[in-house]
Amino acid sequence: MMPQDLLTKKQKMIKETKSIIFIIIAVLTFRSVFFEPFRIPSGSMIPTLMIGDFILVNKFAYGLKIPFTDLTLFDKSFDPIYVAGKSDPKRGDVVVFKYPKDLSVNYIKRVVGLPGDTLEIRNKVVYINDKPLEPKEFDGKVIMDDMDDKFKSYNLKFYKVKTGEHEHVIQQDNDNYFKVDFDKITIPAGKFFMMGDNRDFSYDSRYWGFISHEQIKGRAMFVWFSLIFPFGENPTKFRPGRIGTIIN
């Protein structure tokens, strides 16, 4: 017979192990279905999102999914299975999605073109269904003061734009003429055209094409923390003023 105290310890250990497993599964399920944190590693969405921003993403913004159905394991990616409320993102939404060229990588961009739209770019102005998204230039000194060091040497101009119902700011390099124009296209059914707000420093649908609804992970909501970790010669930069910033 096992001593009573040893038996009690074993039962307690089993109970604690079950509790830990349950908590882990609950947390992972919550992240898979409801909300998930992401960190912004690049500057493609400046000035809306800065390098080092930690954001919260609404995973059920475009429909309630069965947990873990949108997982990517190694080189295999699974499409989400929706159980309720499946809907398309709205024009101007900032979304996290699986990068079409490597589905194990997450990208974040702004939805600019919707299924059935015609889209073209003339002299860096985006036209949707032959109507321009009129950019209105403004003084971006405050933005420049907080700009990531790698972009401070560029001749940046800042513009207010309304994309769908979202009013936001884009920035452009006045000396960059590489992607001034983009030939008119019609966006296929079920596809979306994505662009970064840092227009001349964004690797987006202008280069790699459309994304599908199945690749979308969720809609970005707000910044809950902002910190650049020291790397090489880059100093640590903590931006407390960005905490709580709503992503529009």
Q: Catalytic residue numbers?
A: 44, 109
> By the 8 A CB rule, do 154 and 171 touch?
no
Residue 240: how many CA atoms within 13 Å on its side-chain side? 0
d(CA 217, CA 20): 27
